[in-house]
Amino acid sequence: MQQIYELGFWGSGSNPYYSGHGSHHPKYVTPYISAVSQFLSSFTNPIKVCDLGCGDFNIGKQLIPFVSEYIGVDIVPALIQFNQEKYGTDNVYFKCLNLAEEELPKADCAIVRQVLQHLSNTEIESIVPKLYQYNYLILTEHLPEGKFQPNLDIISGRNIRLRKNSGVILEAAPFNFKPIAKKQLLAIPDATNGGVIITTLYQCN
């Protein structure tokens, strides 16, 4: 992931750790912020959120007003340091962690936005059991339209399963995620790359 940012594989912007047009283009960002903020605002007492794969924090910074505490997690040390210096406050802070190998921060809700789609099945299988600690999971994945075979394996990196006509479906084998309930919050067609970007709200416990 460090190399992705260093070589600008996801494009470039004013931020040296630009996380791509999916995290910046209003077509994708505006409806996402609207849907997620509506959910976060539904609680009488604001909840604590852990953003697993926070990237350049262009999305997360817009959700801060709706939560009591926001933890941004990513695997790139320099990115985490950059975010901490730019966005860190008493209730907003950042941790450098490997999601597959390390313990995840405690929170009421986890946000995993277009992260698992870049990971191998082995890494996802290591992450899934950790997701049950959260009351809620807001998961966003880029999926093919129509019928497709879920969870074809890839090598972790900048590519996703879409080119194999596949995508991550947590409830399907080999992950077999079993939430208490689920609700689709958002579906945004991607005319540029094909497929559709789906955001799902899971109740985990």
10 domain residue, yes or no:
no
**What's the number of domains the chain is made of?**
1
- Per-residue pLDDT reduced to its tens digit, 19-59: 777 788 899 999 999 999 999 999 999 999 999 999 999 99
Mean pLDDT of the region 176-199: 96
1 domain residue, yes or no:
no
11 domain residue, yes or no:
no
Q: Which domain holds residue 183?
A: 25-203
CATH of the domain at 159: 3.40.50.150
The pLDDT-based confidence of 10 (bands split at 50, 70, 90) is very low
178 domain residue, yes or no:
yes
153 domain residue, yes or no:
yes
Phi, psi dihedral angles at 136 (to 5 degrees): -135, 150
Mean pLDDT of the region 140-151: 97
The pLDDT-based confidence of 2 (bands split at 50, 70, 90) is very low
13 domain residue, yes or no:
no
pTM: 0.92
124 domain residue, yes or no:
yes
9 domain residue, yes or no:
no
